Structure 1
Amino acid sequence: MTLARDHGRRLEMAFERFARMWGTQLTSRLRALCSATCDRVELMPYDEYVGTLPARTAVMLCTVEQTRQTALLQTPVETVMVWVDYLFGGTGLGDDREGRELTDIELTVVRELLQPALDDLRYAFTTVAPLSLSMRAVQYSPQFVQAVPASDAVLVARFTLHTAERVDTATLMVPAENLLAAMRLAETDETRSDDDRREAAHTRTQLEQAVTAVPVDLVVRFAPVTVRPPEVVGLAVGDVLPLQHPATRPLDVVVDGVVLARAAVGSQGSRLACRVVDVEEENA
């Protein structure tokens, strides 16, 4: 699998922007000199990516907000423990005990450390395609993490992380199909001819006109009141139903269950009518 040259260049620039912001975030939160650099961006099958990871490493499972797919941020467990040590006021010694995993409290502070950096992806990818990640969990055995089908193409950005004197490698995996499709769509829009743009605008105008010509039912009603089934079944001529609608309050003007305005009851000739006295701001 290979990336188109233009796509690869744009992705590398976006991940480089993200790396700079990530390094700044780490330095600010850990109060230690940190930096991150993007070494390369690759397109490969998911199972091949997993095969490049250590048997034991910290894999942060993240949700891609635009598609609800799963992305992965991978860093060595030892690096994460160094972060935790800094966050709790230590000197960055970490914890290199074999099999050590994050406690619930440690996971919470790591999530608070990484989420602002992940939020920066949205800004880094502004000129490429929409991309927002939110961290939700951590795993330690990547071979058991089935984020996407094994043969699916994924984009993998590889980073060099500097935390004080420590140097590590981290990776960020994002499912490729939707991200590359968004990039191709943006390119198509940018390269359309003037005739294509005029035709698209004309089609959009026709669609808007067609939508505005669709009839809808408009209802003027009192505020709904809740009753029990026996009360409905037992209704008879002459029964009085008490309403909770104040006598001084205008009636609701409703379309498809949505209150659009308020109206006072009146008449126009021999027919009842209503005069709109207030419009719901959020629907205006």
Structure 2
Amino acid sequence: MDEVLSQSEIDALLSAITSGEMDAEELKKEEQEKKVRVYDFKRALRFSKDQIRSISRIYENYARLLTTHFSTQLRTYVNISVTSVDQVPYEEFIRSIPSLTVLNIYSVSPLDGRLIMEINPNIAYALLDRILGGQGKSIDREDSLTEIEKLLLHQFFEKGLDCFREAWSSVIEIDPVLEEFEENPQFIQLVSPNETVVVVSLTTKIGETSGMMNICIPHVILEPIVSKLSAHYWMQPTKNKIDEEAYRKITKELHGATLDVKTILGEASITIEQFLKLNRGDIIALDQAIEQPLRLIINDKPKFYVQPGKFKNKMSVQILEEIKGVIEHDE
């Protein structure tokens, strides 16, 4: 990317050309000369800025989901946010983390390879303190975790696999599994030292304790889905996929549902005195004219105009037309 000059630098350059301190022809010659840019093959960039932004979006969603999960499990204030997403050699990532830390190693089927989540000891000890009933304070320790502490952390992070799965669901359906738990990064060699990995750094705060969680994603994991990390893929309209089995079951249940269907021949209003004086043979005049169609009521809502008749020696109605423009009020 070409260097962009500030306004003061532009003014100084114009002033130098005007005063003769700098020759415009010499500037043109310098511009035409080939410029050599130093390139470090150990830091080869395998992903574009667009793809890095897509990974950042995935893990911003993951950070929000993990914040909710941690807050629910620990019943305390938790805040997790994405600090940076960088491409670095695997060797540089290993050197950057403490010699004694907490490392979760995940497989993400159907993708190949495994990824690492490194939890800073400050956060790991705060988690343990909170899980065991404390206030979530971190402690300075130089010894390794006990087997019970490892088991507690392993179970705690296993419960958060759904957050990982949901965060990636916008790109691919994965089945993450927490396979290993390690403390010394020197014992882990997932890829070659010069292999490019994506490191997502998450700033984590639990109560009054803060620290970092780093997620190392080797290139081999992202290679099959690299096309899905482009802006073009994210901007494509998503098509709702129909679960055929669920659709069939819902349709079957709806077909067996019962409805209350009735036709009202007419209505009339009389006084209590008239009601008390009714005798056999008396006639009550309804408000329904004989030439007008009746209404078919389904679940107490008028749906069709019908006419009465007989079908196979049973009283029946024939549908004439649908009743439109009826405003239905939910009770």
TM-score (norm: length of structure 1): 0.60
**Aligned match of 2:182:** 139
In the alignment, the residues of structure 2 paired with residue 186 and residue 92 of structure 1 have an alpha-carbon distance, to the nearest angstrom, of 37
What residue identity is the alignment partner of 2:94? Answer: V
**Aligned match of 1:33:** 77
1:172 shift after superposition: 0.5
1:25 shift after superposition: 1.0
Matched, 1:76 2:120: yes
What residue identity is the alignment partner of 1:99? Answer: D
What residue identity is the alignment partner of 1:160? Answer: T
Gaps of 5+ in 2: 1-43, 235-331
In 1, are the aligned partners of 2:50 and 2:231 still within 8 Å (CA)? no
Aligned residue pairs total 190
| Counterpart selection for 2:89 from 21, 41, 45 | 45
> Larger Rg: 1 or 2?
2
Deviations, residues 164-189 of structure 1 (Å, cap 9, x unaligned): 01110110112223314313167699
**Aligned match of 1:117:** 160
Q: Label 1:185 to 1:14 Cα distance change in 2 as closer, same or farther (>3 A).
A: closer
Q: Label 1:100 to 1:188 Cα distance change in 2 as closer, same or farther (>3 A).
A: closer
RMSD, matched Cα: 2.4
- How do 1:1-284 residues align onto structure 2 when only pairs under 5 Å count? 1-2=44-45, 3-101=47-145, 103-184=146-227
Gaps of 5+ in 1: 192-284
In 1, are the aligned partners of 2:111 and 2:224 still within 8 Å (CA)? no
1:85 shift after superposition: 1.6
In the alignment, the residues of structure 2 paired with residue 100 and residue 70 of structure 1 have an alpha-carbon distance, to the nearest angstrom, of 24
TM-score (norm: length of structure 2): 0.52
In 2, are the aligned partners of 1:70 and 1:148 still within 8 Å (CA)? no
What residue identity is the alignment partner of 1:111? Answer: H
In 1, are the aligned partners of 2:91 and 2:193 still within 8 Å (CA)? yes
In the alignment, the residues of structure 1 paired with residue 53 and residue 232 of structure 2 have an alpha-carbon distance, to the nearest angstrom, of 19
Deviations, residues 87-118 of structure 1 (Å, cap 9, x unaligned): 121222344332131x3332222122212323
Instruction: Give the share of equivalent positions with the same residue, in percent.
Output: 22
